[in-house]
Structure 1
Amino acid sequence: MNVLQALFFPPEQPGGVSSMIPFMKERFVRNSWGMELFYLPRRLRGKGNEPVEFATFDWKAYRGHPVVDKYIQTYKDYVWWTMLRIRQRYDLIHAHHPIAALAMRQLFPETPVLLTIHSSYERELVLNGHIEADGPEHRFLTSLYHELEVKLEQILTVSESFKSYLSHYVQEPDKIRVVPNGFDERRFRPMPHENEVPQLITVCRLVPAKGLDILLAACSELKKRGHSFVLHIIGDGPYRPELERMAVDLDVYEETIFYGYMLHPEQFMPFFDIFVLPSRAEAFGSVFAEAALCRLALVGTNVGGIAEQIEHGRNGFLVPPEDAEALAEALAKLMEEPDLRSRMAGLAEKKAKSNYSLQRVIRQLAKVYEEYRRPEARG
């Protein structure tokens, strides 16, 4: 069976998709599947001019809004690039972004197209202050979910929580399947170590949706209480200058290291003690599974897929979003009790290996793919 994995971002981009799909492809190919990756180059913009029509709503009613216009042009660019580059036929196309899915459906109407929705673009835009909730851009983006439902053979997503979110925008939510992300265990090598001063680490894009303002406020509270620590922030984004100013204002700049973007943070993570990320929303939160596989204690917010990975009080702590005081309490407990920290880290690693192994996701996806194998290919 010959499968095309249609990404949006190039595979070297940070995030759950890029950290999983290339390794997944390698395993599938080793198991005698045909599989290729396809994506839109980052610098390719403004090339496409094919008309865009949707079956379930008139997108032109939203034309003139920047997010909508950019989305439609990117869709046109994806169609243009696909027409230019793809010449062969595939038995199945598995897309990992709505634009990729709709473009592939338009160009290959006879080929089954599946889509995994990894995150909510509109929710992140709202949280980051770029669009208004229930404004025209928000309505355009959420309207796409029903369009995808009508046009594709199958929609998958990465957590039960995000399936519940999608259920508000589709007509048959029960048909959505959940396949959590999977991770190649060979990438993660926990290292025995002893840090005299607790080392906190977070890995994310530096945008308001990730809640790092709450993390810095919690760290300020920890310092006021007399706790020693170092906070390592791996990632970059438009919010970084404001976060750096905030660290100064909260008197935690000396305790905080901003590294910028790092391609393979999992090589760095095993030397730290606690992974913390107080996201305001998260469809899955791949970085929590990655941190768990590095045997770190976990602290996250009780939102989305994070709450499906962390069992509060057992393999980590969950705190309410926007609550710096509760976050400081959870971090303080782990910093003060190294035995508890070690026990929770071990249980987090055990759960991640059991639930989020790459082999598990490959088995689940292979079963889905086989459902769409052409009769003549079953032999």
Structure 2
Amino acid sequence: MNTSIIYTESSMNFGGQEAQALLQMKGLIHRGFNVTLACHIDSQIAHEAKKNNIPIYHVAFINSAHPASIIRLRKLLRQQQAILAICHSGHDANNLAIAVKTLAKKQRPCVLRQKTYLSGKIKAFSMNYLFDYIIVPSEPMRETLLQSGCMPQKVKVVHPGFDFSKMVAEKHTPIADNILTWINKGTAPIIIQVGMLREEKGHDIVLAALAQLKCQGRSFRYLIIGDGACKAKLKKKIIDYDLVPETFLAGIVFPSSSIYSYASLTVIPSTKEAFGMVAVESLFFAVPVFASNVGGLPDIIQDKSNGLLLPPSDINNWIAAIDDFLQQPKKYQEMAQRGQLQVTKKFSIESCLFRLLQIGKVSNINLQDKTNQERSNN
């Protein structure tokens, strides 16, 4: 059988979805599939893919209908005779869809678009007619797409997968010296936030809450992991809130597992969050989680059972919750320990890949080989 699967990614940055795509590709290669990543050669995901021996195919993805990118993708699809193509960002998704449509029907792979966040108006027409299926990480996001006109049979929920055994091994990866120096300088609890530096991630909510708590005499440190377009604006807000001594912008930490050993509390104050991979990672390492009650986060956090769900943008609630944590952390550590077992059962990479292959109508090679072996033994 043909085993070629193509992933595409046009983003130059590296966030949760890029990390998830990388994990999926590695898992598929481990299962015997021939996987190629089409991306910009200078992108951060290309750098990480090379380190993991994942083949790279350079595509510029200048815009969402870039002739040169379409031609290169068409060439790759024909060379590989791909059975499945998985895309994510707007530019690579549209270019891939167009490239596939130019092929003869029998040469077309099944195209899955992984839609991990919603930004602006949802284009239902392209969702319905450019891709075979839209993959979303949570039921609330699926409902949002359906309300916007997407066909129910096209939109499938697949929870992101986690390689928990690998996360345990990566926990001991040394972190950058500048981060470790900052950590070792103080003894106050470390509140971490992990993710792209974008407006909807809600860093300003936490900064406003922490500024108030500082005025009340509370001791804490705020470690921000990630990079993105809002970095300069975030730096200014840290100065404006007089939180420079307590706050450190660490940039990207990969693998992120290495940072949770130092975390006292993880905050996810997003105003939009399709899933919330950081919530799963934190609970797996038994780090307490406070998250906004939005998007897919309630799929992971059960309020006051394995963490806290808070109204988005309600600074007073965030102040009260963080203040309570600083005064009685043990209560929240016990919640996180309950969550550790829950996420381990629910969010494995094996179940994620099985679901993707099932939707794409692709046989799992390992399962097929096992079945063939059993037949030959009978």
> TM class, shorter-chain normalised?
0.7 to 0.9
CA distance in 2 between partners of 1:107 and 1:35 (Å): 23
Letter in 1 for 2:29: V
Q: How does 1:120-199 map to 2 (within 5 A)?
A: 120=117, 122-123=119-120, 138=121, 142-143=122-123, 145-189=124-168, 196-199=187-190
Distance 1:345 1:78 in 2: 46
| Within-5 A mapping of 1:51-66 | none
After TM superposition, give the deviation of residue 364 of structure 1 in Å: 1.9
Amino acid at match of 2:85: I
TM-superposition CA deviations, 1:37-71 (whole Å, max 9, x none): 32221659xxxxxxxxxxxxxxxxxxxxxxxx974
2:160 match: secondary structure: coil
RMSD (Å) for aligned C-alpha atoms: 3.0
For structure 1, which segment, 260-269 or 200-209, has the greater mean C-alpha deviation from structure 2 after superposition? 260-269
TM-score by length of 1: 0.78
Q: Structure 1 residue runs of 4+, over 4 Å off?
A: none
How big is the shift at 1:20?
2.3
1:117 aligns to 2:114 (yes or no):
yes
Task: Quote the Cα distance in structure 2 between the aligned partners of 1:260 and 1:184.
Answer: 23
* Counterpart contact for 1:6–1:101, Cα < 8 Å: no
2:208 aligned with 1:217, yes or no?
yes
Query: Aligned pair in 2 of structure 1 residues 171, 278: CA closer, same or farther (>3 Å)?
Result: closer
Letter of the aligned partner of 1:161 in structure 2? P
Question: How big is each residue's C-alpha offset from its partner over 1:75-120, in whole Å with a ceiling of 9 and x where there is no partner?
Answer: 4453133135441212222333432541342244432323233333
Quote the offset at 1:245 in angstroms. 1.9
Q: Kindly tell me the number of residue pairs found equivalent between the two proteins.
A: 330
- Name 2:84's counterpart in structure 1: 92
Distance in structure 1 (CA, Å) of the matches to 2:99 and 2:192: 39
**Rounded Cα–Cα distance in structure 2 between residues aligned with 1:358 and 1:283:** 18
Offset at residue 334 of structure 1 (A): 2.0
Provide the residue aligned with 2:225 in structure 1: 234
Quote how far apart the aligned CAs of 1:221 are: 1.6
Partners of 2:310 and 2:68 in 1: how far apart?
42
Q: Which whole-Å deviations, capped at 9, do the CAs of 1:301-353 have from their partners, x for residues lacking one? A: 11101122111111111111111111121122222222212212212222221
| Residue equivalent to 1:201 | 192
Contact 1:211 1:279 in 2 (8 A): yes
Contact 2:288 2:333 in 1 (8 A): yes
| Structure 1: gaps of 5 or more residues | 45-68, 124-137
2:5 corresponds in structure 1 to: 4
Q: Is the 8 A contact 1:215 1:327 kept in 2?
A: yes
1:123-176: CA deviations, max 9, x gaps?
Answer: 3xxxxxxxxxxxxxx4xxx33x32232243322211111101111333522542
Q: 1:229 to 1:77 in 2, by over 3 A?
A: farther
In structure 1, what residue type is equivalent to 2:129?
V
For residues 152 and 334 of structure 1, the distance between their equivalents in structure 2, rounded to whole angstroms, comes to: 45
Matched-pair contact (CA < 8 Å) for 2:87–2:96: yes
Separation in 1 of the partners of 2:230 and 2:27?
A: 37
Specify the alignment match of 1:324 in structure 2. 315
Unaligned stretches of 5+ residues in structure 2: 44-60, 173-185, 365-370, 373-378
Q: SS at the partner of 1:218?
A: helix
**Could you tell me whether the CA contact under 8 Å between 2:86 and 2:114 is conserved in 1?**
no
Aligned match of 1:36 = 35
The superposition leaves residues 207-239 of structure 1 with CA deviations (integer Å, 9 ceiling, x where unpaired) of 211111111001112212221100001112232
Deviation at 1:359, TM superposition (A): 1.6
Cα shift at 1:180: 0.8
Once the two structures are TM-superposed, the CA of residue 7 in structure 1 deviates from its matched residue by 2.2
Q: Secondary structure at the match of 1:258?
A: strand
